[in-house]
C-alpha cells in the first residue's frame, strides 16, 4: 500500500476567491463614471486624439470545471479531476480608435494569455491523494466594440476572443496512503496534454476608465486606464475529449498614447463696411473712503458683560481646565464681582484678556451668588461624546468645587450626564470642522430657575447667568475706523486690495478682500503721526482676470477725547450658526438697553461670528445678527416717541483683526457669536 501526504482538500467556497475584488473594481468604475464630467480646456490648440496606441497588462483569475481523467495516451489517473483555479499573466499591445465626437469606438489587443491553474486534490481508490496542475498558455487576438454610455471617461467593451494554444504542459503527483507512512511516493509526472484544441473562439465583456495624465491642450496625450473583463466558459474547452472548461476574470491596467491634430486658426477677414464696434463693458464699482474728522484712541467703557452658563472642558478630560480661576477656601471671603482682575487667569493676552477674565471666574461668580441667595438651587448638566457617565463626572467636578471651596450644601446642586448638550453645536450630518464643534459641546451647562442666578428675561437651558458690570478703556473704537467702500466688489471682482500712500511716499498695503466694505483702525494707518493726507488706490481683479484701479484721498487726524467721556456697552449672544435667537432678547433690549440711550446719542451696532464656516457666509451671518438688533432698538425707540438717536451698523464676520475675542478656546468662540451695542453720549 502507498502512504499519503497530509494535503488539505480545497473547499467549494474557495473556488472563487477573487470575486469580491472584481465586484469592487467594477462598482468603483461605475460610480466614478457617474460622477465624472469631461472638461475641455478653453484654450486648447490641439484636438483630442482619435487613435491610441499602448500596452496593457494584468492578471487572469482562472476557474476550472468539468472532468479530466485521461491526461494523455500514457497516463490515465485513477480518479477524475473536476474543479480548480489559478492565476495567470496577461500582457498585450493595444490599439484603440474612438473619435471624441462619438460614443462608439473600436479596440484591438494581441496578447500573451496564461490560463494556468491547479485542480482541486482528489483521493484515489488506494486512499492516496492526487494533484494535477497545468501550464496552459495562448496567444489571443481580441477585437472589441467600445462604447461610452455616459459621455465621460468610463467605457464598456465586448467582442470575440481568438486564442491559439502555445503551451499545454501538466504536472501530476500521486501521494501515499497515510496508513503506510514508510511507503515512498511515486515520482512526479511531467508531460503534455493530448487532444488539445489548437485554437478557440470565445467571447469577452468588460469595462474601463480613462484617467488623463497630461493637460488636454497638449498635442501628445497620455492616458492610464484600469479595466476589468469577464470571459465566460462558452467556447473555452481546452481539449477535444472529456468536459474540462474554463471561465476567466481579468483585471489590469493599460497605458495609452495619442496624438491630436493642430486646430487651424481661421484668418481674420477684414470687411471695410459696415464697421461693427463691440464695447467691452467693465464692471461698475464705486470706490469711497470715509475718515472721521476726530479719531479717538481711548474711551472709558462701562460694559454690561453677559456670563455664559457653560463651563468648557478639554476633550478627553473630566477635570476643570486650569484656565478657569479656582480659589482656595481662604480666598472666598475676599472675592468680589466688581474686582475680578484681582483673580485673573494665567494665560490670557490681547483683546480677550479683560472680558475673558470675567468669564473665567464663572464658577466663583456662581458660588458667591449661591452664598448670598441660600434658597437658590442649580442643576449641572455634563455633556460628553464618551457617554453619560463621563458627562456626569464633569458635572461632579464642578459640584465638588462649589461644595468644598464655597461651602454650598450638596443638596442644592443636582448633577446629570448627557452625550450631547440640549443645544448642541454639532448637527447631524455635519462633516466640516468637527473638532472645533465637539470642543464646544464638551461642557457643563449651569441651569437654574432662580432670578438671582440667571437673567430674568430668559429661561431654559440656554439662559445665561446674570451679567457683570465692568469698567474698561476701549482702544480704537469702531467709530474711529476708516471705512473703505467698494460698491459692487462682491460681484465684479474675484478679489481687491488697497494701497495707502502718505505725503512722504510711504506705502501701506491691505488685503486682498472680497467683501464690499472694509474698516481699518485709524491708528493703524497713522501710527504715531497726529495727522496726515493719504492717497488711497483700490486695485481689483475681475472674474476674467482684468485689473481695474480707482483712486481717492483722505485726511486723517488723531486726537484723544476728554477722559470724562464714558460709553456704555451691552452684548447679545447667539448659538452656533443662528441669527434668529434675538427674539429671546427682545424684552431685555427694550426694557434695559433702550432707557440707557441718552438724548442725541449714537448707537454703534457691530455683529461678529467665530471662525467656524466660510468667510462669506460668516460675513452675511454677522450682518443678519446686527440687523435683528437694529430692528428691535428702532421699534422700541419709535414706540417711546424718540427719533433723536443716530445708528451705525457693521458686520465684521469672522475678521480676526476686529473680533472681540480670540478663537483658541471654545468659550472664546462662543463669545464671538455676538452683537455688541456701544452707546456713545451726544456731543
CATH number at residue 508: 2.60.40.1220
- Condensed to tens digits (0 to 9), the pLDDT of residues 426-474 reads 776 666 777 888 888 899 998 888 888 887 665 556 677 777 777 665 5
Report pLDDT for 9: 36
Q: Which residues contact 168 (CB under 8 A, 6 or more apart)?
A: 134, 135, 136, 192, 193, 196, 238
Domain boundary among 557, 586, 615: 557
Instruction: Specify the pLDDT at position 249.
Output: 96
**Domain contains 149:** yes
Question: How many percent of the chain have pLDDT more than 90?
Answer: 33
Range of the domain at 456: 309-463
Q: Are residues 539 and 445 in the same domain?
A: no
As a whole number of angstroms, the distance between CA 89 and CA 327 comes to 75
Is residue 672 assigned to a domain? yes
Same domain as 180, residue 84 = yes
What integer is the mean pLDDT of 121-129? 92
- Are 241 and 129 in a shared domain? yes
Question: Tell me, what CATH number does 184's domain have?
Answer: 2.40.160
Domain boundary pick from 557, 591, 608: 557
Q: Are residue 586 and residue 510 in the same domain, yes or no?
A: no
Output the DSSP codes for 365-434. Answer: HHHHHHHH-TT--EEEEEE-TT-HHHHHHHHHHHHHHHHHHH---GGGEEEEEESS-SS-SSPTT--SSH
Q: Could you tell me the pLDDT band of residue 91, with boundaries at 50, 70 and 90?
A: very high
- Please indicate, yes or no, if residue 595 is contained in any of the structural domains: yes
Q: Left (φ > 0), alpha (ψ -120 to 50) or beta: where does 429 sit?
A: left
Q: Please say if the pLDDT value at position 128 is more than 70.
A: yes
Tell me, what CATH number does 427's domain have? 3.30.1330.60
Nearest to 562 by CA among 240, 340, 296: 296
Please state the rounded mean pLDDT for residues 559-566: 56
Average pLDDT of the residues in 373-396: 92
Query: Is the residue at 130 inside a domain?
Result: yes
pLDDT of 614 reads 84
Q: Is the pLDDT at 403 greater than 80, yes or no?
A: yes
pLDDT at residue 419 is higher than 60: yes
Residues 400 and 340 in one domain: yes
198-202, 287-291, 634-638 — which one is most confidently predicted on average?
198-202
Same domain (yes/no): 522, 459: no
Which of 22-36, 74-88, 197-211, 363-377 is the least confident region? 22-36
Q: At residue 38, does pLDDT exceed 70?
A: no
Greater pLDDT, 581 or 384: 384
Q: Say if 63 falls within a structural domain.
A: yes
Structural domain total, the chain: 4
Report, as an integer, the average pLDDT of 669-678: 88
Tell me: do 535 and 456 sit in the same domain.
no
Q: Are residues 178 and 90 in the same domain?
A: yes
Confidence band of 673 (pLDDT split at 50, 70, 90)? confident
Amino acid 515: pLDDT: 77
| Pick from 11-25, 312-326, 643-657: least confident | 11-25
Lowest-confidence region among 78-87, 225-234, 633-642 = 633-642
Q: What average pLDDT score do residues 167-184 get?
A: 90
Mean pLDDT across the stretch 559-570?
65
- Across all residues in the chain, what is the average pLDDT? 81
**pTM confidence score:** 0.45
**CB distance 90 to 67 below 8 Å:** no
Read off the pLDDT of each residue in 347-374 and give the average, rounded to a whole number. 75
Ranges 273-277, 372-376, 412-416, 585-589: which has the least confidence = 273-277
Are the C-beta atoms of residues 38 and 155 closer than 8 Å to each other? Answer: no
Confirm whether 278 is domain-assigned. no
Domain annotation covers residue 12: no
Residues 140 and 70 occupy one common structural domain: yes
Task: Give the pairing type, strands 245-259 and 68-72.
Answer: unpaired
As a whole number, mean pLDDT of residues 190-207 equals 95
Q: Residue 293: is its pLDDT beyond 80?
A: no
Portion of the chain with pLDDT greater than 70, in percent: 80
Query: Where in 8-83 does DSSP place strands (E)?
Result: 51-65, 68-72, 75-81
Look at residue 471 and tell me if it is in a domain: no
Residue ending a domain, among 416, 436, 463, is 463
Residues 609, 662 within the same domain: yes
| Residue 95 shares a structural domain with residue 213 | yes
Is the model's pLDDT at 7 over the cut of 70?
Answer: no
pLDDT at 331: 87
Amino acid at each position: 500500500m502507498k502512504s499519503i501526504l497530509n494535503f488539505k482538500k480545497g473547499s467549494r467556497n474557495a473556488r472563487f476567491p477573487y470575486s469580491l475584488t472584481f465586484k469592487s473594481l467594477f462598482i468603483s468604475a461605475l460610480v466614478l463614471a457617474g460622477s465624472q464630467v469631461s472638461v475641455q480646456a478653453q484654450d486648447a490648440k490641439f484636438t483630442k486624439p482619435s487613435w491610441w496606441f499602448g500596452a496593457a497588462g494584468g492578471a487572469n483569475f482562472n476557474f476550472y470545471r468539468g472532468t479530466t481523467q485521461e491526461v494523455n495516451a500514457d497516463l490515465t489517473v485513477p480518479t477524475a479531476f473536476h474543479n480548480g483555479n489559478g492565476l495567470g499573466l496577461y500582457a498585450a499591445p493595444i490599439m484603440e480608435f474612438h473619435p471624441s465626437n462619438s460614443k462608439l469606438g473600436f479596440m484591438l489587443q494581441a496578447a500573451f494569455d496564461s490560463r494556468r491553474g491547479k485542480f482541486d486534490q482528489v483521493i484515489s481508490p488506494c486512499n492516496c491523494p492526487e494533484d494535477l496542475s497545468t501550464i496552459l498558455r495562448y496567444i489571443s487576438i481580441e477585437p472589441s466594440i467600445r462604447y461610452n454610455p455616459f459621455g465621460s471617461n468610463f467605457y464598456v467593451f465586448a467582442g470575440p476572443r481568438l486564442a491559439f494554444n502555445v503551451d499545454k504542459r501538466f504536472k501530476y503527483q500521486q501521494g501515499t496512503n497515510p496508513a503506510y507512512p514508510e511507503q515512498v511516493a511515486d515520482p512526479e509526472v511531467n508531460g503534455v496534454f493530448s487532444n488539445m484544441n489548437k485554437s478557440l473562439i470565445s467571447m469577452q465583456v468588460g469595462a474601463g476608465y480613462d484617467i488623463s495624465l497630461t493637460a488636454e491642450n497638449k498635442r501628445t496625450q497620455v492616458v492610464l486606464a484600469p479595466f476589468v473583463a469577464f470571459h465566460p466558459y462558452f467556447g473555452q474547452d481546452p481539449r477535444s475529449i472529456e468536459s474540462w472548461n474554463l471561465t476567466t476574470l481579468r483585471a489590469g491596467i493599460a497605458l495609452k498614447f495619442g496624438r491630436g491634430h493642430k486646430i487651424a486658426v481661421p484668418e481674420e477677414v477684414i470687411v471695410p463696411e459696415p464697421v461693427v464696434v463691440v464695447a467691452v463693458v467693465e464692471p461698475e464699482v464705486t470706490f469711497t473712503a470715509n475718515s472721521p474728522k476726530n479719531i479717538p484712541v481711548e474711551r472709558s467703557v462701562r460694559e454690561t458683560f453677559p456670563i455664559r452658563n457653560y463651563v468648557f472642558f478639554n476633550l478627553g478630560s473630566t477635570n476643570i481646565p486650569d484656565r478657569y480661576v479656582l480659589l482656595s477656601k481662604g480666598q472666598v471671603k475676599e472675592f468680589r464681582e466688581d474686582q475680578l482682575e484681582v483673580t485673573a487667569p494665567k494665560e490670557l493676552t490681547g483683546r480677550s484678556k479683560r472680558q475673558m477674565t470675567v468669564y473665567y471666574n464663572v464658577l466663583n461668580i456662581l458660588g458667591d451668588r449661591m452664598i448670598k441667595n441660600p434658597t437658590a438651587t442649580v442643576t449641572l448638566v455634563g455633556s460628553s461624546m464618551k457617554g453619560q457617565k463621563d458627562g456626569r463626572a464633569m458635572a461632579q467636578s464642578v459640584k465638588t468645587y462649589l461644595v468644598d471651596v464655597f461651602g454650598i450644601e450638596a443638596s442644592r446642586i443636582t448633577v446629570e450626564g448627557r452625550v450631547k448638550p440640549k443645544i448642541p453645536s454639532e448637527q447631524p450630518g455635519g462633516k466640516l470642522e468637527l473638532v472645533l464643534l465637539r470642543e464646544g459641546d464638551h461642557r457643563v451647562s449651569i441651569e437654574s430657575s432662580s432670578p438671582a442666578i440667571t437673567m430674568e428675561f430668559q429661561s431654559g437651558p440656554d439662559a445665561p447667568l446674570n451679567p457683570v458690570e465692568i469698567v474698561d478703556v476701549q482702544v480704537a473704537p469702531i467709530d474711529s475706523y476708516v471705512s473703505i467702500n467698494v460698491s459692487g466688489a462682491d460681484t465684479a471682482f474675484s478679489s481687491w486690495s488697497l494701497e495707502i500712500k502718505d505725503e512722504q511716499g510711504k506705502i501701506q498695503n491691505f488685503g486682498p478682500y472680497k467683501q464690499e466694505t472694509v474698516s481699518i483702525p485709524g491708528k493703524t494707518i497713522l501710527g504715531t503721526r497726529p495727522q496726515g493726507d493719504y492717497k488711497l488706490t483700490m486695485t481689483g481683479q475681475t472674474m476674467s482676470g482684468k485689473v481695474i484701479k480707482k483712486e481717492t484721498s483722505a485726511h486723517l487726524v488723531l486726537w484723544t477725547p476728554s477722559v470724562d467721556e464714558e460709553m456704555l456697552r451691552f452684548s447679545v449672544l447667539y448659538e452656533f450658526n443662528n441669527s434668529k435667537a434675538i427674539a429671546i432678547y427682545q424684552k431685555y433690549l427694550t426694557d434695559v438697553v433702550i432707557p440707557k440711550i441718552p438724548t442725541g446719542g449714537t448707537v454703534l451696532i457691530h455683529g461678529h461670528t467665530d471662525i467656524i464656516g466660510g468667510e462669506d457666509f460668516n460675513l452675511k451671518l454677522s450682518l443678519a445678527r446686527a440687523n435683528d438688533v437694529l430692528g428691535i432698538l428702532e421699534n422700541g425707540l419709535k414706540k417711546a416717541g424718540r427719533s433723536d438717536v443716530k445708528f451705525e451698523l457693521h458686520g465684521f464676520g469672522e475678521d480676526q483683526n476686529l473680533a472681540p475675542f480670540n478663537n483658541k478656546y471654545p468659550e472664546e468662540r462662543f463669545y464671538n457669536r455676538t452683537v455688541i451695542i456701544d452707546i456713545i453720549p451726544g456731543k
